[in-house]
Amino acid sequence: MYKNIELSASLMCANWLSLKDQILSLEENDIDYMHYNIADGIYAPDFTMGSSIINTVKENTKLPGHYHLMVEEPMRLFENFDLNKNEIFTIHQETSKNLHRDLINIKNKAKVACAISPATPLEYLEYIIEELDNVLVLSVNPGFKSQKLIPQTIRKIEKLKNLIEKMGLDISITADGNINKLNIPDFIKAGANILVLGSSGLFRKDATIKESVEDIKESIDKVL
C-alpha cells in the first residue's frame, strides 16, 4: 500500500516468457495484489487463465490474489480456487442469476466484491451493496487488454464513492481498465483506492516494473 492506495498487478498483461522474474519484481516493488482475470469466451469475448495456472502462480508468490471472474454463472468455478481471507473474489453483477446468494457464499472464504461493466448502472447494486467489501468498476468493456478508457466511468466511481459515504459503509473501490500514470490522479480523486495495473500502467514495453511503479507513485503523489 502506498498512501492508502493499493496496487493490483494484472497477470494477463505480464510477459509470460519471463513470468517468474516478473513475479519476483512485483514482490520487490510494493505491489499489493496479483490480479487474476478469468474469462470464459461468452460474457467476455476472450479466454484467459484457468484455475490450474492461477493456483500454480499462487504457489510461487506471497502476493494475495485479487480475482476477477468475467464468466457466466461464476460460482460454478468457485471451489476450483484455494482462497483465504486476505484475498478478494470478484463476480459480475451481470453474470449471476442469484447474486445475493453467491456473494454470501464467497464471504465464507474471502473478501467479497462485485464488478460492474461500463454501461451497468450503480442502481443495480442497491440491494446487495451492504454485503460487499469491494466494488470493481470496469473502465473498459470486459474482455481484451489494451482497450481505450471509457471516461464516463470515472464519473461513476465518484458517484459510487458518494453513495458509500452516505450509507456509512466500509467498502473499497477498485478501478480496472487502462489505468496509467496520466489518469491515476483522476481515478483517485473520484474515489478509487485499489488500482488494477496492466499493459499501459505496469507491464509497459518502454519501462521496467520498477520504473513503472516509480511513475505510478509519482502520480499518486500529485493527489495525496
pTM equals 0.94
The pLDDT, as a whole number, for residue 142 is 78
Quick: pLDDT tens for 36-67: 999 988 887 777 788 889 999 999 999 999 99
Instruction: Find the mean pLDDT for residues 192-214.
Output: 96
Quick: pLDDT tens for 154-177: 999 999 999 999 999 999 999 999
pLDDT at 23 over 70: yes
In the beta sheet, which residues pair with residue 37? 68
Give the dihedral sign, CA 108/140/176/147. Answer: positive
Cβ-in-10-Å burial (0-12, 13-18, 19+) of 221 comes to: exposed
Instruction: For residue 70, report the phi and psi dihedrals to the nearest 5 degrees.
Output: -105, 65
Contact between 46 and 15 under an 8 Å Cβ cutoff? The reply is no
User: HEC states along the chain?
Assistant: CECCEEEEEEHHHCCHHHHHHHHHHHHHCCCCEEEEEEEECCCCCCECCCHHHHHHHHCCCCCCEEEEEECCCHHHHHHHCCCCCCCEEEEEHHHCCCHHHHHHHHHCCCEEEEEECCCCCHHHHCCCHHHCCEEEEECCCCCCCCCCCCCHHHHHHHHHHHHHHHHCCCCEEEEECCCCCCCHHHHHHHCCCEEEECCCCCCCCCCCHHHHHHHHHHHHHCCC
The pLDDT, as a whole number, for residue 40 is 85
The pLDDT, as a whole number, for residue 42 is 82
